Amino acid sequence: MTSKEAKNLLSKYEQGLCNAEEVAWIETWYIQLNEDKQLNLSSDDLDRSEARMMRALNIQEKPTVTLWKKVAVAASVLVVSTLTCYFLAPRAFLQDSNPTQMVNKTIKPGGNKAVLILADGREINLEETASGKLAEVSGVTIIKKTSGEIIYDLKSAEDVGDSKTRYHTIATPRGGTYRVLLEDGSKVWLNAASSIRFPASFSQAERIVELKGEAYFEIAKNPVRPFTVKVEGQSIQVLGTKFNVNGYLNEAELATTLLEGSVRVSNQVGNVILKPGQQSQSTINEKIKLREVAPEEFLAWKDGMFNFNRADLQTVLHQFERWYNINVKFEKNVPEIFFTGKIYRNLNLDDALNNLTFLGVRFKIENRNVTVLSK
């Protein structure tokens, strides 16, 4: 958003002419202004900006609709901090309208890319393979849908367990994502640079998969066949639930975030039971820690969004590295910076980076190498 567009948007808001998405965008910025301690603005700057915003809010406010409810109307809100850039520092925004330097062609976002490795070692490039039936293994038909999903369709109940030792693997590269419907009806969303290993059909006693990287699970309920995810020395046991597992090797800790149901997370030290809205964090040899979180922040990737809540810039760009298949390095004089906001994952790299430049940094892109510099 340019400063002119931001000014026009605020003017529409003051006149009561904004649509639901525009109202949500501005009000989300206002909420962040009240909560964010990182801006380092003087009290006079904050008072002036808040007074300007309150004048608009007094016009827009309806007694039957709360501020948070109005914010929730628009799922397509992009970057709440973009408006902060204009309202609090419009001159700087005007002077640096294109701070991301491109030395080569545009880097596109990731997409539905993965390789399916069958038990006999055959590899199927799912990006290049046409939709339809891919293979049939011990009564299980493997189907690729046009939407970017692999389905394991079990023909009859008597086939369950026939191929319990015939493991398949689906692996996504950096810049790839894919969905898998397992034969028991469980759904798996694989994030970039991740893989899942699983039997073509589960045994009658248990359902076990092995994960590397990150995935979101929606597990079909089956009390007599518990579902277990093994990842980096830990196991996550469930009966039927929705949860996210981030087990990238280059992350400081393994994190399991529970959206619905109940899971038990175990490692060599002990185990904990998660409730919805909780996240476990640990390494293999450490006691598992629990904390309360907003699960949507950690599940946004499967719905096409980056969602950050006071994340440092290194964390933000770490996610960009996996999604855009890039390498990032920082110049020594780049200060510690935190970012709160949402960014669409379908943006080109330069557009995604431009949403961060108001933080006082600029970016130089050469091939797939990105350098972060202080302004």
> What is the Cα–Cα distance from 324 to 107, expressed in whole angstroms?
7
- Domain count for the chain, please give it: 3
CATH number for 334: 3.55.50.30
Residues 164 and 182 in one domain: yes
Q: What is the pLDDT of residue 150?
A: 95
Task: Tell me which residue range forms the domain holding 51.
Answer: 3-76+83-91
| Residue 206 belongs to a domain | yes
Residue 96 near residue 356 (C-beta atoms within 8 A): no
Q: What is the pLDDT of residue 7?
A: 67
Please identify every stretch of the chain with a pLDDT value under 50, giving residue numbers as ranges. Answer: 35-41, 56-97, 156-164
Q: Which of 243, 265, 298 is the last residue of a domain?
A: 298
Q: What is the pLDDT of residue 43?
A: 54
Residue 110 near residue 304 (C-beta atoms within 8 A): no
Residues 288 and 326 in one domain: no
Q: What is the pLDDT of residue 30?
A: 57
Q: What is the pLDDT of residue 272?
A: 95
> What is the Cα–Cα distance from 237 to 248, expressed in whole angstroms?
19
Residues 141 and 155 in one domain: yes
Q: What is the pLDDT of residue 9?
A: 74
Q: What is the pLDDT of residue 2?
A: 57
> What is the Cα–Cα distance from 355 to 353, expressed in whole angstroms?
5
Count of positions (residues) in the chain: 375
